[in-house]
């Protein structure tokens, strides 16, 4: 009997001695419940899709747009250490885009890009696009060209900050955007910066910024890329790459109820990866998910029948 029990004991010791190692099982998607209306979870190392919900629905993505803005800025080859003048908007955006930045002052392109990504600074994104070769129109055209290049067939961009609901994509398309963005060290660095002080000149002043993703500030999370977003039409959005049990995991969470709901979904995903248990969703968030999903289905039916949206 002892000879039979000893190998089993060794196996159990091997599993428990390294709790940070990759689990011996693959998580079952049926065990995961998320509050986000549209979601995808992918093993970024292998490309394997681990979970998906309404992943091909084309929906507004709010400030997640800024990841594409960063790619276009970096692809342009314009010097990151160049000082750019803060210019005033040519037309008022459809939502409140108030900024603390002073018109006429200057900040380096790299710093504008950093606060665009970590703090979702809308005016900074606008200034980056205005200083792009060819200006704003060329910048947005390059955003859409890059989307086609990445195979994002159900994606369209209308502005660099994500202030317009016409910035549309799907959860699966955004996985492709995250994969490309994750290849750029600057984007990894800028999106995971916890706090940053931007130092302007002409006139000289400084502004402090914090990351909009609370998980970046938590030591028990190993976040390697992050972007949050919010519009009334988009709900709360969060896209992120993080290491879980030594596995790089990409998650796309679109249209969540409440500021903390995407954070809760991220926690449920991590628990599911590590233990195969996804956890429960709060009733209000779950009801929002059901209501939004039903509304989307009604809109799609009207569109298919040729009726008004």
Check residues 296 and 308 and name the one with the higher pLDDT.
296
pLDDT at 65 over 60: yes
CB 74 within 8 A of CB 186: yes
User: What DSSP designation does 156 have?
Assistant: B
Tokens at 172, concatenated:
């699966």
Catalytic residue among 36, 53, 108, 120: 120
Average pLDDT, the chain: 90
Q: What percent of the chain has pLDDT over 90?
A: 77
- pLDDT reported for residue 308: 53
Q: Is 63 a catalytic residue?
A: yes
Catalytic residue among 36, 53, 66, 256: 66
pLDDT at 38 over 70: yes
What digits encode the pLDDT tens for the residues 198-216?
999 999 999 999 999 999 9
List, in order of start, the domains of the chain with CATH numbers: 25-304 (3.40.710.10)
pLDDT at 298 over 90: no
pLDDT at 307 over 70: no
pLDDT at 13 over 70: no
Distance CA(216)–CA(155), nearest Å, equals 27
CB 66 within 8 A of CB 128: no
**Cis peptide upstream of residue 203 (ω within 30 degrees of 0):** yes
Catalytic residue among 36, 53, 63, 108: 63
- pLDDT reported for residue 245: 86
- pLDDT reported for residue 15: 37
Model confidence at 22, pLDDT cuts 50, 70, 90, reads very low
In this structure, which long-range contacts are made by residues 293-296, counting pairs with CB atoms below 8 Å and at least 24 apart in sequence?
A: 293/37, 293/54, 296/37, 296/54, 296/57, 296/59
Model confidence at 302, pLDDT cuts 50, 70, 90, reads confident
How large is the average pLDDT for residues 89-110? 96
- pLDDT reported for residue 292: 83
Distance CA(156)–CA(6), nearest Å, equals 60
Q: Is 256 a catalytic residue?
A: no
Distance CA(168)–CA(192), nearest Å, equals 24
Based on C-alpha coordinates, what's the Rg of the chain? 21
Q: Is 66 a catalytic residue?
A: yes
pTM of the predicted protein model:
0.88
CB 304 within 8 A of CB 296: no
What digits encode the pLDDT tens for the residues 225-278?
999 999 999 999 999 999 998 899 999 999 998 889 999 999 999 999 999 988
């Amino acid at each position: 009997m002892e000879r039979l029990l000893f190998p089993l004991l060794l196996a159990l010791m091997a599993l428990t001695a390294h709790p940070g190692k990759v689990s011996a099982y693959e998580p079952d998607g049926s065990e995961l419940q998320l509050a986000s209306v549209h979601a995808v979870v992918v093993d970024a190392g292998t490309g394997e899709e681990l979970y998906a919900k309404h992943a091909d629905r084309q929906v507004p993505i709010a400030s997640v747009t800024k990841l594409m803005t960063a790619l276009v800025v970096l692809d342009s080859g314009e010097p990151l250490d160049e000082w750019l003048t803060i210019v005033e908007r040519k037309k008022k955006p459809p939502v409140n885009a108030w900024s603390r930045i002073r018109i006429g002052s200057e900040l380096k392109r790299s710093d504008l890009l950093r606060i665009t990504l970590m703090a979702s600074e809308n005016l900074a994104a606008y200034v980056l696009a205005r200083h792009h070769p060819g200006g704003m129109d060329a910048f947005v055209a390059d955003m859409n060209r890059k989307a086609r290049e990445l195979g994002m067939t159900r994606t369209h961009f209308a502005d660099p900050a994500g202030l317009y609901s016409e910035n549309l994509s799907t959860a699966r398309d955004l996985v492709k955007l995250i994969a490309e963005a994750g290849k750029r060290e600057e984007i990894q660095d800028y999106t995971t910066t916890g706090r940053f002080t931007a130092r302007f000149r002409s006139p000289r002043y400084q502004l402090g910024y914090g990351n909009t993703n609370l998980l970046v500030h938590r030591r028990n999370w190993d976040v390697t890329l992050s972007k949050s977003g919010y519009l009334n039409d988009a709900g709360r959005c969060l896209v992120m790459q993080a290491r879980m049990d030594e596995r790089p995991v990409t998650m796309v969470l679109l249209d969540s109820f409440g500021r903390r709901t995407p954070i809760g979904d991220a926690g449920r995903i991590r628990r599911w990866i590590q233990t195969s248990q996804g956890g429960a969703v709060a009733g209000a968030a779950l009801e929002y998910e059901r209501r939004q999903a039903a509304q989307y289905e009604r809109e799609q039916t009207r569109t298919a029948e040729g009726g008004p949206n």
